[in-house]
Amino acid sequence: MDAARGAERLATARSEVHRACELLIASSPEALNNCQEVLERAVNALKEFRSFSQEVPPEPGTRPLALTLKKEVLRARRLIESLAAFYKGWERILGTMSGGYTSNGAPAAVTRQGRLCCRG
């Protein structure tokens, strides 16, 4: 593996995180499932880059690429957090709708045991 191959692994990681961001923007549970696979590929690409970099020092020109990757990771984190906040709030609303409030005033947990839902 040469230095160009190392940079290519970094570019792959960035590209995969970018793809993950697109899936997070789509934001359906199905897209989130696909997001896991994409993020796993990004992690693997980055691990390969790091492993390679221990043998051959990375080129100075790879730093801007790493900076772009860092920004994409921050973007992905922000999108996951905003989506999580949305669904957690939703869960709290469902909890109060289905179970009211607990003794300490918090929304009741949503009970799903034995629940069956058929979708056409």
Q: Which is nearer to other proteins, 4 or 103 (CB)?
A: 4
Report the nearest approach of other proteins to the CB of residue 50 (Å).
6
115 backbone φψ class: left, alpha, beta (φ>0; ψ -120 to 50): beta
**Of residues 66, 35, 64, 36, the one with CA closest to residue 49:** 66
Q: Which residues contact other proteins (rule: CB under 8 A)?
A: 10, 13, 17, 20-21, 24-30, 32-33, 35-36, 39-40, 42-43, 46-47, 49-50, 53, 57-58, 60-63, 66-67, 69-71, 73-80, 82-84, 86-87, 89-91, 93-94, 97-98, 110, 112, 115, 117, 119
Report the nearest approach of other proteins to the CB of residue 71 (Å).
5
**21 burial type by CB count under 10 A (0-12 exposed, 13-18 middle, 19+ buried):** buried
